[in-house]
Amino acid sequence: MKFAGMLILGLTFEMGIVSIYMVTDGIIKEWLNTKTTPENIERLRQIYLLSYFIVAYVLIFFIKMTMGIRFVLDNAQLVLLETFIMAVRDRKLYFSIGVTVGFITLLPYFFKANIDGRIAVTFLVIIPLMLVSCYFTIRKNSLVRWLTFLIVGIVYWALRKLVWLGSQKIMLVLLLSYLVQASIVFWLFYLHEKNQQIIAKNEHDALFDEMTSTKNYRAFVRGLDQVVQVHAEAEDKTPLALIMADIDHFKLINDTYGHLIGNEVLKAVSGKLVESADELGITADVYRIGGEEFAILLREKNKGQAQAFIEKCRASLAQASASQEHEIYVTISVGYALLKPRETAIDFFQRIDTLLYQAKRNGRNMVVGGD
């Protein structure tokens, strides 16, 4: 009966906290999708994860110190800490986690002299073990990670037995309770992680061009709307440049060499656009928005910097063969301009599209910039 009570009480705390995190994380992610870039979304979600579990850890610790259910919440505290560490994707944060949790664990013992400090020492010993084990198993399969979860708890209760003069029976009840709680919470969170990975892959596939690995037209429309909106709301109006490039006579390349070579050319052009941005230290979002048409968004770059970037791309493509099998020297026609005040995303796009077609009508292999 005591075992069932401990188990239900511990799981109530753990499942509640983990479930609330899963729901709120999903809501925050959906909201951030409309506000910022995927890179920022992942960073902000990790910040939320850290904040949420630190608050949850402090809450459990406070309840444990002020109510007479200390042994039950030892397991809840241990399981949630392991879940928290497992969820952190950046292993560089592990040291910060250990220091933070250690400080929180020790804090009550500075203010309440009647608390048995041996319990805190046990936690301080187990935290490094937990961090190290999670660090080396984060890339392992689910079975290894689950067994690591269980072993940490077994070591913890073995250490507690050394410093606690309670009965063997109670210690076994607490250990069994931990093993059940840890297994349920681990697999719940693991399935949540797998589901998030599937969702992330589907989102990636929906927004990226499979052939060139650049972003696709859907991502371009979303990204352009987003940056134009951010630009309109910002007090500091930093430059925003849009570049549109079209491969000259691409149909002739397909007709002469075949579509496989045409695909090779597309990959070479997209790769050169990304490579040129990296060489110049420019943060550029590259999109394939049509068969042989690409768009590039340059943030915080003025007109001269945008022109220097695209001229470098045009010169590099003309000097190196875009195919390993055939000598194909590609030229591109380009239109570009900076966003005007109060200009909408659609008007901005149409203006650059007009400049691109002006470059093509004027003989191709040229760059036409707008005011």
- Model confidence pLDDT, tens digit, residues 164-197: 655 677 777 778 888 888 888 888 888 888 888 8
Sequence-distant (6+) residues with CB within 8 A of 60 are 13, 17, 73, 76, 77, 80
Backbone phi and psi for residue 102, each to the nearest 5 degrees, phi listed first: -60, -40
71 inside domain: yes
> Which of 207, 239, 271 is the endpoint of a domain?
207
Q: Active-site positions?
A: 292
Give the confidence band of 217 by pLDDT, cuts at 50, 70, 90: very high
Distance of CA 28 to the CA centre of its chain: 13
Token readout for 183 is 């297994």
203 and 256 housed in the same domain: no
Based on the number of CB atoms within 10 Å of its own CB, is 39 exposed (0-12), middle (13-18) or buried (19 or more)? exposed
71 and 184 housed in the same domain: yes
Return the closest-CA partner of residue 335 out of 224, 221, 245.
245
Could you give the CA distance from residue 194 to residue 188 in angstroms, rounded to a whole number?
10
Q: How many helices (H) and strands (E) does the chain have?
A: 12, 5
> Which of 207, 241, 262 is the endpoint of a domain?
207
pLDDT (0 to 100) of residue 358:
93
167 inside domain: yes
Read off the DSSP letter of residue 165.
Answer: -
212 inside domain: no
- Cα distances (angstroms) measured from residue 120 to each of 67, 150, 159, 160, 185: 17, 20, 12, 10, 24
Could you give the CA distance from residue 245 to residue 294 in angstroms, rounded to a whole number?
5
| Interval 258-284 mean pLDDT | 84
The number of distinct structural domains making up the chain is 2
User: Residue 116: pLDDT above 90?
Assistant: no
* The dihedral formed by the CA atoms of 100, 101, 103 and 109, expressed in degrees to the nearest 10: 160
173 and 119 housed in the same domain: yes
Read off the DSSP letter of residue 327.
Answer: -
pLDDT (0 to 100) of residue 242:
92
pLDDT (0 to 100) of residue 70:
58
328 inside domain: yes
> Which of 182, 207, 232 is the endpoint of a domain?
207
Could you give the CA distance from residue 122 to residue 280 in angstroms, rounded to a whole number?
53
pLDDT (0 to 100) of residue 355:
93
Q: What is the mean pLDDT of the chain?
A: 81
Q: β-strands 332-338, 367-369: how paired?
A: parallel
235 and 119 housed in the same domain: no
- Model confidence pLDDT, tens digit, residues 8-46: 766 777 777 888 888 888 888 878 776 676 667 878 888
160 and 279 housed in the same domain: no
pLDDT (0 to 100) of residue 111:
61
168-207 and 70-87 are packed helices; what angle lies between their axes, rounded to 10 degrees? 30
Q: Are 81 and 126 in contact (CB under 8 A)?
A: no
The least confident of 101-105, 222-226, 271-275 is 101-105
User: Residue 3: pLDDT above 70?
Assistant: no
171 and 260 housed in the same domain: no
47 and 125 housed in the same domain: yes
Percentage helix, strand, coil for the chain under 3-state DSSP, each rounded to 5: 70, 10, 20
Q: What is the CATH number of the domain that holds 230?
A: 3.30.70.270
| Interval 48-71 mean pLDDT | 75
Could you give the CA distance from residue 343 to residue 196 in angstroms, rounded to a whole number?
37
Backbone phi and psi for residue 244, each to the nearest 5 degrees, phi listed first: -125, 130
Could you give the CA distance from residue 197 to residue 82 in angstroms, rounded to a whole number?
20
- Residue 116's domain comprises 2-207
pLDDT (0 to 100) of residue 75:
78
237 and 327 housed in the same domain: yes
pLDDT (0 to 100) of residue 141:
83
Angle at 227 between CA 224 and CA 232, to 5 degrees: 120
Residue 294 β-bridge partners: 245, 288
Backbone phi and psi for residue 332, each to the nearest 5 degrees, phi listed first: -135, 150
Q: Which of 31-45, 65-79, 204-218, 349-363 has the highest mean pLDDT?
A: 349-363
pTM, entire model: 0.65
113 and 229 housed in the same domain: no
- Model confidence pLDDT, tens digit, residues 331-366: 899 999 999 988 999 999 999 999 999 999 998 888
222 and 197 housed in the same domain: no
229 and 201 housed in the same domain: no
40 and 100 housed in the same domain: yes
